[in-house]
Chain A
Amino acid sequence: MTGIWNAIFAAGFFANPEVQNALWLGGVIAVVSGCIGVFTVLRGQSFAGHAMSDMGAAGAAGALLAGGTAVAGFLSFSVVAGVSVDLLGVRPRDRDVATGLVLTAVLGLGSLFLFFDTRTVGAPEIILFGSLFTSDPGLTPWLSALGAAVLLALAILFRPLVFISLSPDTALARGVPVRAVGFAFMLLLALAVGESSLVVGSLLSTSLLIGPASAALRVTARLRHAIPLAAGLGLLGTWLGILLAYDSFYWPPYGRGWPVSFFITGIVLAIHLLSRLCPPADRHGSTRAERTAKRGV
Chain B
Amino acid sequence: MMGTWLGEMATAVFSPGMFSFSFMQNAWLSGTIIAIVCGTAGFFAMLRGSAFAAHALPKIGFAGAAGAVWLNANPLLGLSLFSIGGALGIGWLGKGARRDVVIGLVLAFGLGTGALFLSFNNEYAAGAISLLFGQIVGVSQSEVVDTALLALLSMAMLAFLYRPLLFATISPESAEARGVSLRMLDILFLVIIGVATAITVPIVGALLSFSLLVGPAAAASHLTHRPGRAIAVSVILSVLSLWVGIALAYDTGWPVGFFVASVVVLVYAMARTGATLADRRQRAKSVVATD
Chain A interface (Cβ < 8 Å from any Cβ of B): 41, 44, 46-47, 49-51, 93, 96-97, 99-101, 103-105, 107-112, 114-115, 118, 122, 124-125, 128-129, 201, 203-204, 206-207, 209-211, 214, 218, 253, 256-259, 261-266, 268-269, 272-273, 276, 280, 285
Which residues of A sit under 8 angstroms from B215, Cβ to Cβ? 100-101, 104
Chain A contact residues: helix, strand, loop or mixed: helix
Cβ A269 vs Cβ B129 within 8 A: no
One digit per residue, 1 when the CB lies within 8 angstroms of any chain A CB and 0 when it does not, for chain B 237-260 equals: 000000000000000001101101
B114 shortest CB reach to chain A, Å = 8
Cβ A46 vs Cβ B98 within 8 A: yes
B176-219 contacts to A, CB under 8 A, are 205, 207-208, 210-211, 214-215, 218
Kindly report which residue of chain B lies nearest to residue A45, judged by CB atoms: B100
Cβ B207 vs Cβ A50 within 8 A: no
Given A207-B108, A269-B109, check contact A105 B118 (CB 8 Å).
no
B44 within 8 A of A: no
Complex-state Cα separation, A129 to B108, whole angstroms: 10
* Band of interface residues on B: 35 or more
Which residues of A sit under 8 angstroms from B113, Cβ to Cβ? 262, 265
A-contacting 9-mer, from B31-39, B46-54, B136-144: B46-54
Kindly report which residue of chain B lies nearest to residue A280, judged by CB atoms: B96
B119 within 8 A of A: yes
B162 within 8 A of A: no
Kindly report which residue of chain B lies nearest to residue A50, judged by CB atoms: B104
Which residues of B sit under 8 angstroms from A124, Cβ to Cβ? 129, 132
Complex-state Cα separation, A280 to B97, whole angstroms: 10
Cβ B119 vs Cβ A256 within 8 A: yes
B155 within 8 A of A: no
Cβ A111 vs Cβ B255 within 8 A: yes
Cβ A261 vs Cβ B115 within 8 A: yes
Kindly report which residue of chain A lies nearest to residue B214, judged by CB atoms: A100
